[in-house]
Amino acid sequence: MNVVTIERNVLAKNDELAERNRQLLQLNAVFCVNLISSPGSGKTSILERTIERLKGTRRIAVVEGDVQTDIDAQRIAEYGIPAVQIVTRGGCHLEANLVAQALEAIDLAVCDLLIIENVGNLVCPASYDLGEAHKVVVISTTEGEDKPLKYPEIFRRASAVIINKTDLLPYLNCNMAVLRENILSVNPHVKLFETSCTTGGGIDIWCHWLASHGGTQ
C-alpha cells in the first residue's frame, strides 16, 4: 500500500513540474505536442515528414526520449533544427523534470512548435503530463485493431491519433473500420489521421492540423 501512496506523490510532483513547463511554453508562445506510441510505430518518421513540410513556416524544436542511444536525435539534427535527446537509462517514460531540463537547452524565444517524442510505450507515458498542449498517439496498421481496447488510457487522454503505415494495408489483416471504431469507442472526441511515411499520404492533413493549432500563426 505504501507503494501506491508513493506513486501518487510522484505523479503529484510531476503534475506540478508539468504545469511550470506549460506556463513557460505559453509565455514563449510555443505550441507543444507529446508524441506517444509503441516502439516502431513510426513516430520518428512522422517527425521527419512533419519537419520537411513545416520547416519553412514554423520554427520547430524536438525533444527525443529514449531508454538508450541518441539515434533519434541524430536523425532529427540532420534537418538542421534544435534536437535535445533525453536518455532515460531504463526509464519507460518521460517525466516533466526531464523535459524541464531539456527546455533549458532550447531557445524558446525563437521556437513556434515543440514536438516531444516520448519513449516507445503505450502504458506509463499516459500518466505523466509533460506540460504539452496535446498528447498525440501514433498506432501503426501492423499492430492490430484491438490495441485501443487493450491500452485505453493513452487513447482516452489523446487529442489526436495518427494511424500510420497505411501503405501496408493491402498486405495486412487489418480492418481499418474496426480500428477507427475501437479508437472512437474509448475516445469519441479524438481527431483521427491516417498517414504513410513511405508514400507521404495523409501527412499534409496532419501537418495542417498541427500548424493551425500553434499559438503564433
What residue ranges bind its own copies (CB under 8 A)?
2-3, 6, 10, 38-40, 66-69, 71, 90-92, 119-124, 127, 140, 142-144, 146-147, 149-153, 165, 167-168, 171-173, 198
Instruction: Between 26 and 198, name the residue whose CB sits nearer to its own copies.
Output: 198
112 grid coordinates: 513556434
Asked whether the beta carbons of 51 and 81 are under 8 A apart, the reply is yes
Instruction: Between 107 and 181, name the residue whose CB sits nearer to its own copies.
Output: 181
Instruction: Between 90 and 188, name the residue whose CB sits nearer to its own copies.
Output: 90
DSSP secondary structure, 155-192, as one string: HHT-SEEEEE-GGGGGGS---HHHHHHHHHHH-TT-EE
Count of Cβ atoms closer than 10 Å to residue 2 Cβ = 6
Q: DSSP code of 22? A: H
**CB 143 → its own copies: shortest distance, Å?**
3
Q: How many Å separate Cα 20 from the centre of its chain?
A: 19
Instruction: Between 3 and 12, name the residue whose CB sits nearer to its own copies.
Output: 3
**CB 121 → its own copies: shortest distance, Å?**
6
